């Protein structure tokens, strides 16, 4: 290593493990340039600081996530206890979480995520069991296709090179 701050050889040594003639590890003084010695003295602390900082970030993130989950579960248990006390049937935890998200979004003036139950029924299906028979003209690109939408009953291409199925559904807000 070259340095204008340090001399080339100052006679500094460090203890290092070296194998002797019998193959046993023994401590031996090894000459080291001052630049390398100073670098090794400070790089260890830098790496420790970086590791501690990253670990702290991970721990804080996990703590906040877990404490939020615990708070939601506790809120659900309180809701369930109160609802059963009134003689009503409580909703499931998944429905409770969805309702909680919607109510928190309203309280924070954030638009709630749009529910799309109708998209679950739009699935590409084959027109017939064979790809060569029963092909119809694609409504989007007018090429022959063996696939149609199950709920729209519209023939659409569903290929990696031509994805008319998704393009048509996005264009028609379906």
| pLDDT (tens digit per residue) in 139-160 | 889 888 888 888 888 889 888 8
What are φ and ψ of residue 115, in 5° steps?
-85, 135
Model pTM? 0.37
- Smallest CA-to-CA distance from 166 within 127, 157, 85 is with 157
pLDDT tens digits along 31-62: 887 777 777 777 766 667 777 778 888 888 88
Nearest-angstrom CA–CA distance, 46 and 25? 29
Range with the largest mean pLDDT of 47-56, 79-88, 119-128, 160-169: 79-88
For the chain, the structural domain boundaries read 53-111, 123-171
């Amino acid at each position: 290593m070259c340095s204008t701050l340090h001399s080339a050889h100052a006679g500094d040594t460090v203890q290092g493990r070296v194998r002797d003639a019998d193959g046993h590890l023994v401590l031996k003084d090894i000459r080291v340039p001052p630049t390398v010695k100073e670098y090794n003295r400070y790089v260890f602390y830098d790496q420790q600081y970086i590791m501690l900082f990253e670990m702290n970030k991970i721990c804080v993130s996990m703590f906040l996530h877990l404490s939020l989950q615990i708070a939601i579960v506790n809120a659900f248990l309180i809701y369930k206890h109160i609802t059963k006390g009134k003689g009503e049937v409580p909703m499931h935890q998944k429905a409770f979480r969805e309702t909680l998200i919607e109510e928190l979004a309203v309280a924070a003036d954030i638009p709630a995520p749009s529910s799309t139950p109708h998209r679950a029924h739009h699935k590409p299906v084959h027109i017939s069991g064979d790809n060569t028979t029963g092909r119809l003209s694609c409504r989007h690109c007018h090429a022959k296709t063996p696939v149609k939408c199950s709920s729209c009953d519209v023939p659409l291409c569903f290929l990696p090179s031509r994805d008319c199925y998704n393009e048509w559904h996005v264009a028609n807000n379906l």
